[in-house]
């Protein structure tokens, strides 16, 4: 979190901090995938989708919109947007 109280997003981290964060998170995603054996991983937002693609190459990955207050479009019928995104993924 920033001194202002604003969330510090991964894209704002210095490379060394970002890399130190990504490695254990990617390993956690791989462990969950190994345990659950899903046919697809669905990220909540573009960042999660990108990280899932890095963590589990070869497994289909899709995304639903992230309900971020920073995204004006996410604040307009987010549940409907999720339903549409899931349908587009065939889920």
Residue 45 inside a domain? The answer is yes
Per-residue pLDDT of the chain (91 residues), as tens digits, is: 778 877 778 878 889 988 899 999 999 999 999 999 999 999 999 999 999 999 999 999 999 999 887 777 877 899 999 999 999 999 9
pLDDT at 7: 78
Residue 76 inside a domain? The answer is yes
pLDDT at 56: 97
The DSSP letter of residue 69 is T
Residue 5 inside a domain? The answer is no
The DSSP letter of residue 10 is G
pLDDT at 30: 97
CA distance 26 to 20: 11
Helical pair 15-36 and 46-55, crossing angle rounded to 10 deg:
70
pLDDT at 49: 97
Residue 4 inside a domain? The answer is no
Helical H segments across the chain, by residue range = 15-36, 46-55, 78-88
Q: What angle do CA 38, 39, 40 make, to 5 degrees?
A: 90
Number of domains in the chain: 1
Residue 52 sits in which domain range? 10-88
pLDDT at 4: 85
Residue 28 inside a domain? The answer is yes
Residue 57 inside a domain? The answer is yes
Residue 24 inside a domain? The answer is yes
Residue 65 inside a domain? The answer is yes
Please enumerate, as own/partner, the contacts of 72-80 that have beta carbons within 8 Å and a separation of 24 or more: none
pLDDT at 78: 92
């Amino acid at each position: 979190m920033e001194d202002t109280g604003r969330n510090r997003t991964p894209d704002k981290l210095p490379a060394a901090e970002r890399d130190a964060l990504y490695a254990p998170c990617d390993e956690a995603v791989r462990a969950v995938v190994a345990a659950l054996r899903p046919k697809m991983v669905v990220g909540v937002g573009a960042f999660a989708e990108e990280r899932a693609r890095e963590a589990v190459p070869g497994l289909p990955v899709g995304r639903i919109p992230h309900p971020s207050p920073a995204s004006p479009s996410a604040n307009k019928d987010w549940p409907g947007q999720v339903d549409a995104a899931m349908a587009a993924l065939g889920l």
